[in-house]
Structure 1
Amino acid sequence: MKHGFFSRNVAVPLKNIFSRFPMAAIFSLGFFAFWSYYIFVEETPEPAEFYFSLTMLFGFFLSLSIELLCEKYKNNAVVWLYLAMGAYLGIFYYFNYNTSTWYEENFTMIVLRLFAFGLFPFWVAYKWSDATEVRYDNFFKSVVSNIFLAAGISIVVFLLGNLAIWSVGQLFDFYDNFQLFDFYRLNAWWSLFSVTLFSSYYVLANFPYYDKQNTENHTLTKAENFLIKNIGVPFVVLYFVILYAYSARVLMNFWNWPHGIISYLVIVFSVIGYYTYMQSRHIEGENRMIIAFQKYLPWAVFFQLFMLFYAIYLRIEQYGLTTNRYLVVIIGGILLVISLYLMIAKRKRLVMIPMMFSCLALFMSIGPWGIFALPKTLQYNDLIAKLEQTGRYRDGKIVTENLEMLDYENSQLIIEKISYLCGWYDCEKIDKLFGGSIDSNLTPYKKREEIIEKLHLQETVYGQREDKIPKNIITYRFHSSTENNEPEKITGYDWIISGANFYKGGDAYSRNKASSIKFYAVMEGNQLNLTQYGNTIATYDLTDFIKQIMENYKTTNQKPDTLQFIGTSEKYDIQANINHLEIQENTDTQEFDIQEIYFDNIFLREK
């Protein structure tokens, strides 16, 4: 019986998909439906709902792997695997993730687990009882080809569909006059359909059967043969020539540190090399260059890993273990194990490569040895040790009283630890360490400045090393913790104007900008100049203003919530709302100088 176009190209493939991979198909459909809803209702998903959509994405890869296991063992009694999968995802996302804020750690964990689960289908179907590796080689090649083909076709569908939607929108004025919804959303929806549902269903519909792979001969098209022999292998050889040439340069100048990027290049080139290694097995017996490539690549990677470990050791020894360095060490370790295995093993089971990387990604995302947990613990311990050594931590508490300015080198070590532990979003360890002495509501950047001030640390500002700060100079930083956008003391103001942020030693402002604006506020030293088209028309002295701030701070030990300067001149009254103020005190002369000042709104009234 002949099938019609719809039956042959839509109905039958969908039937096969839901018959072979029912859960993976449902997860993919659920992910697509979830985001389709948010495209058309014009809402942003809540964090918990967003993580729920990620649950469906992870579920797609896990269920695909589980259903491949069903085919492998010819056993349908795997309900417990689905229950374990659901329990894992639920526990992980709702208890291990912070659903109130999008942390960098969350993003990294998502990438790690997607990488791990995405590699599962490459090795879970493997049969260890196979007499040769030919069947797995063909299976691996078929899966990779299927993924690349799905990506290419989905891009074509994405472009052609959006072109059709754009044409209709332009010709019939739907982008301006469509009543049901914003017509641009149809473009977004089609893009979502192309890159998620269509591509995933194409992969599922054409996913190869492991048992049906050729067990005697490698299958390779002419195009694949050409890509491997004439592009893949020569470029991998070139990459390692570059690495070994640089290694020779390092050995000849051993007193100079190798570039930090060498560690990442070794990893990237090694991964590309081993991917090409897996693909080139299909033509190993046909080409002497391929035979040599298969024989010597593991050795080339093995010896190059010494450069990786040397470069990363120098930086860990000097600066401590960070997430990036930990990642380099772990991946380097896996590459070392893979290289040793391929150098020693008589039967080289290439399934070990995706399996090791998959398990590594899971290993690094859980427990106290995780990619973020271990570096944070070590950095925190190093910070405590350095604070104790410099007299800033005693009996389990931070010491901030009676401190002299710390030397530049030790200051930098402490600041680096604090900056690492208090990144853009997460300052939990630092908040606990400093207890109530640091306002937990401050941004991480402002917390860092408060800590530097309290611990009397020297820092680098705007790229200039401050290693010659005399002991009689103390820096104080103040931040406005309230909104300063409404006038409080000047009524009937005439203009809201802008002010140039100022830091001493840098360009105070752009003169071109000031000359093109009717009114502009510019700092010079402790004076605020009001300009009109670049010409100064009034000057306000902030010396008494900053003295008053310092007197109040030293008397009450409390920083002001609001920083607001009120000035008067012959013709104009001004109210400058300040967001950030840095003052330097000379303890010998009792003089105060403004080092930095950032403005919010400035209100101006003409008399």
Structure 2
Amino acid sequence: MSWRIIMELLKRISIRTITGEFIRTVKRFPLPVSFSILTCILLIIEIENYSFFDNSPILVKSIFISILGFLFTLVSTLFLERSDNRDRIKFIMQTIVLTLLAYLFITLPAEFRETDYITFASYLSASVFSLMFVYTKNKDESYFGIYNITLFMRGFTSFVFSAILFGGLASSLFAVQQLFFAGNFHEELYGDIWVIIISFFAPVHFMSGLPDDRDSPNSNFLYPKALRILLQYIMTLLVSLYLIILYSYTVKIILTRIWPEGIVSYLIISYSLVGIVTLILLSPLKDSDEFKWINSFSKYFFRALLPLIIVLFMAVLERISEYGITEKRYFILMLSFWLSGITLYMIFSKKRDLKLLPVTLSVLSVVSLYGPWGCFSVSKNSQLSILEGLLSKNHILVNSDIRKTDASVPFEDRKSISSIISYFYDNHGIDKVEFLKKTYQQLAAESKDKNDKDAQHNFYRDFDQAVSRKMLVKEGLGFDFVDEWQNENTSNFLNIAVKYFHDPEIEDISYYDSYIDCRDNLIKDRILDKSSGLYLKYNAKDLSLVFETENKDSVTSVDLDKYVRKIIAESNNIAGEAEPEKMKFIDSNDKLDYMIIFRNFSATRENEKDPYKITAVYFGFYYKVKPSD
């Protein structure tokens, strides 16, 4: 019996069967398979070049466009299969898709900002939502649910198969590495295998299982028992439990009269989407006598959303009133209106077509990107208006000119201004703020190498260390930059660390006789320098190193404080990382030649105008005692 099972399994996974299935899929989806192969090749090139999201922005953009190309062509192919005039419109459809991809490739910059990732994610979302309804021309309402169950099960199966296949191949490769190539092996092969599986095998396997019949498959459809149990006994229970939690929070709002936190908006939208997906997957069962409860569950689910939608709007509008509109808040607000409309439609409409849900989401995903009503335009204008108001309020922006302030700026205003400037750096470019142009152009011109275009480019784009935005606030506006995580008690805290941790081996230390590693005040006892007979003591109070005799008579000292102050001054009071050469000092006095390499240090102050007090320091000290005369 076992041999029969094995032989039957081998027949199913025979090379001929796999090859035939692959050829059938390629013939049905030639463009999606082509984009899948292209994505696979581009990802392998990226892995082999060690440059993902770093040194090859054009290649990264090409990968993103190739992924969209796979989804766009897959959706268009399925649409054509369900069209009565597919031969007539095939060329037009493919031309539109390829033109859109070319437009995105040309208009998206080589180096992505947050707005470009949002554009990519929006088109990705629109494609996925379109995939949910594009093949459901059939008027039978249950077919929409059956089709999406097919998508869900096929996607899940492809994921599981991909994970198992990668695990098997990776373990086999590991065995070969350990047995035959220990110490000399191309580690990137693991990444290459994963890329081939996830960008080629998984998509092809997924597409091979998509329905390709023009007629309703209702008569042949058998609802997956495991999925039914998952949805009926687990998901509906979790949806109900989550509803109780959110209603309890609503009661808390009423009793305490404290406006809802921003995170509740994400929770309500997530809950709503999970509940809606559950209803879509359960919809093929709703006409069965055994599952009549699904209609009741659907009716009460949407009615129960109404109070939560009110809380959702309260949370979103509260955040917008305080901090203005950003792209994230725009999409949350848009989803709030969408959820309101869908809820009212499902409550009062007699038809209640579930297909309307992905259709509207797909349209909104694209429409929200463009025009004066689009997320980028609305968000930019909102943040620009708030920034202009804050700078005018603190007399920094006067008659469209920036005047560096010497006055104290309230902490919350400093934090808001810093946050908005970071927003423009990350999303639109600080050059979009017209009244700041003169200031940042002047600062760019005053950079070390005035002829270095790359340095000025980094000042404008500022992706790496977020130093330019801090310089703009400090030198251009007149106060210290405030990070998102800082509050009024931590805003006067400073930490500076060496950018690349220096090991003693890479320094020229051959001249020096001795070395000590100092961490704050961990050196409590004197250290004997045997070559000179002197004792070295670290004085944490005034930040100095003292050399003294056995009787504690001071011979010489090294003032560490002046070096730390110099680092702070050169950093413009900006926390972060400093170049190694700025953290290293070679000096001497009448008794010593020495080199100090600071690893990091921390400092605090009472307010913005006070000098910093050093609270912790870590450094290496190399020295040579000069011979006595």
Secondary structure of the 2:87 match is: coil
Once residues 428 and 521 of structure 2 are traced to their aligned partners in structure 1, the CA distance between those partners, rounded to angstroms, is: 32
- Deviation larger for 459-468 or 159-168: 459-468
Aligned residue for 2:173?
Answer: 165
Alpha carbons 1:392, 1:455 under 8 Å: kept: yes
Once residues 508 and 50 of structure 2 are traced to their aligned partners in structure 1, the CA distance between those partners, rounded to angstroms, is: 41
Map 1:189-228 → 2, pairs under 5 A: 189-209=192-212, 211-215=214-218, 219-228=222-231
Residue 136 (str. 1) matches residue 136 (str. 2): no
> What is the Cα deviation at residue 135 of structure 1?
2.0
Alpha carbons 1:120, 1:355 under 8 Å: kept: yes
Aligned residue for 1:505?
Answer: none
Once residues 513 and 227 of structure 1 are traced to their aligned partners in structure 2, the CA distance between those partners, rounded to angstroms, is: 63
Alpha carbons 1:384, 1:393 under 8 Å: kept: yes
Secondary structure of the 1:444 match is: coil
> TM-score, normalized by length of structure 2?
0.76
> What is the Cα deviation at residue 143 of structure 1?
1.6
Once residues 330 and 514 of structure 1 are traced to their aligned partners in structure 2, the CA distance between those partners, rounded to angstroms, is: 65
Distance 1:56 1:587, change over 3 A: closer
> What is the Cα deviation at residue 188 of structure 1?
2.6
Aligned residue for 1:455?
Answer: 477
Equivalent residue in structure 2 for 1:511, among 496, 515, 522: 522
Once residues 13 and 513 of structure 1 are traced to their aligned partners in structure 2, the CA distance between those partners, rounded to angstroms, is: 75
Equivalent residue in structure 2 for 1:379, among 374, 383, 391: 383
> What is the Cα deviation at residue 7 of structure 1?
5.4
Identical-residue share of aligned pairs (%): 20
Aligned residue for 1:265?
Answer: 267
Secondary structure of the 2:183 match is: helix
> What is the Cα deviation at residue 68 of structure 1?
1.1
Map 1:479-494 → 2, pairs under 5 A: 492=511
Once residues 333 and 48 of structure 2 are traced to their aligned partners in structure 1, the CA distance between those partners, rounded to angstroms, is: 45
Once residues 138 and 229 of structure 1 are traced to their aligned partners in structure 2, the CA distance between those partners, rounded to angstroms, is: 16
Alpha carbons 1:134, 1:216 under 8 Å: kept: no
Distance 1:393 1:574, change over 3 A: farther
Aligned residue for 1:229?
Answer: 232
Map 1:244-283 → 2, pairs under 5 A: 244-254=247-257, 256-283=258-285
- Deviation larger for 54-63 or 483-492: 483-492
Map 1:520-531 → 2, pairs under 5 A: 524=540, 527-529=543-545
Once residues 150 and 327 of structure 2 are traced to their aligned partners in structure 1, the CA distance between those partners, rounded to angstroms, is: 35
Secondary structure of the 1:295 match is: helix
Distance 1:548 1:58, change over 3 A: closer
Residue 540 (str. 1) matches residue 540 (str. 2): no
Once residues 468 and 176 of structure 1 are traced to their aligned partners in structure 2, the CA distance between those partners, rounded to angstroms, is: 49
Aligned residue for 1:293?
Answer: 297
Secondary structure of the 1:152 match is: helix
Distance 1:455 1:510, change over 3 A: same
Residue 396 (str. 1) matches residue 400 (str. 2): yes
- Deviation digits for residues 263-295 of structure 1, max 9, x if unmatched? 111011111000001112122242353232111
Secondary structure of the 1:539 match is: strand
Distance 1:466 1:324, change over 3 A: same
Aligned residue for 2:102?
Answer: 90
Once residues 164 and 214 of structure 1 are traced to their aligned partners in structure 2, the CA distance between those partners, rounded to angstroms, is: 41
Residue 116 (str. 1) matches residue 126 (str. 2): yes
> What is the Cα deviation at residue 257 of structure 1?
2.9
Secondary structure of the 1:257 match is: coil
Map 1:28-39 → 2, pairs under 5 A: 28-39=36-47
Map 1:290-369 → 2, pairs under 5 A: 290-369=294-373
Once residues 364 and 514 of structure 1 are traced to their aligned partners in structure 2, the CA distance between those partners, rounded to angstroms, is: 67
Alpha carbons 2:114, 2:426 under 8 Å: kept: no
Aligned residue for 1:472?
Answer: none
> What is the Cα deviation at residue 23 of structure 1?
0.6
Give the letter aligned to residue 366 of structure 2: L
Once residues 565 and 167 of structure 2 are traced to their aligned partners in structure 1, the CA distance between those partners, rounded to angstroms, is: 60
- Deviation larger for 573-582 or 220-229: 573-582
**Uncovered stretches (5+) of structure 2, i.e. residues with no partner:** 1-10, 445-455, 460-464, 530-534, 573-580
> TM-score, normalized by length of structure 1?
0.79
Secondary structure of the 1:176 match is: coil
Distance 1:300 1:371, change over 3 A: same
Alpha carbons 1:459, 1:466 under 8 Å: kept: no
Distance 1:20 1:546, change over 3 A: closer
> What is the Cα deviation at residue 452 of structure 1?
3.8
Give the letter aligned to residue 165 of structure 1: L
Alpha carbons 1:150, 1:202 under 8 Å: kept: yes
Distance 1:193 1:378, change over 3 A: same
Distance 1:310 1:548, change over 3 A: closer
> What is the Cα deviation at residue 202 of structure 1?
0.8
Give the letter aligned to residue 333 of structure 2: V
Map 1:41-190 → 2, pairs under 5 A: 46-74=56-84, 75-77=86-88, 78-97=90-109, 99=110, 101-127=111-137, 130-170=138-178, 172-176=179-183, 182-190=185-193
Once residues 518 and 429 of structure 2 are traced to their aligned partners in structure 1, the CA distance between those partners, rounded to angstroms, is: 32
> What is the Cα deviation at residue 303 of structure 1?
2.5
Alpha carbons 1:526, 1:543 under 8 Å: kept: no
> What is the Cα deviation at residue 194 of structure 1?
2.0
Alpha carbons 1:530, 1:539 under 8 Å: kept: yes
Map 1:464-483 → 2, pairs under 5 A: 465=488
Distance 1:217 1:232, change over 3 A: farther
> What is the Cα deviation at residue 455 of structure 1?
3.2
User: What RMSD, in angstroms, separates the aligned Cα atoms of the two structures?
Assistant: 4.7
- Deviation digits for residues 344-378 of structure 1, max 9, x if unmatched? 22112211112222222223344554444432331
Once residues 70 and 261 of structure 1 are traced to their aligned partners in structure 2, the CA distance between those partners, rounded to angstroms, is: 42
Map 1:388-427 → 2, pairs under 5 A: 388-400=392-404, 403-423=406-426, 427=430
Aligned length: 568
Give the letter aligned to residue 511 of structure 1: L
Once residues 399 and 436 of structure 1 are traced to their aligned partners in structure 2, the CA distance between those partners, rounded to angstroms, is: 15
Once residues 16 and 79 of structure 1 are traced to their aligned partners in structure 2, the CA distance between those partners, rounded to angstroms, is: 21
Give the letter aligned to residue 469 of structure 2: K
Alpha carbons 2:246, 2:308 under 8 Å: kept: yes
Distance 1:206 1:488, change over 3 A: closer
> What is the Cα deviation at residue 214 of structure 1?
2.8
Once residues 321 and 228 of structure 1 are traced to their aligned partners in structure 2, the CA distance between those partners, rounded to angstroms, is: 37
Distance 1:10 1:236, change over 3 A: same
Secondary structure of the 1:438 match is: helix
Once residues 206 and 255 of structure 2 are traced to their aligned partners in structure 1, the CA distance between those partners, rounded to angstroms, is: 51
Give the letter aligned to residue 208 of structure 2: A
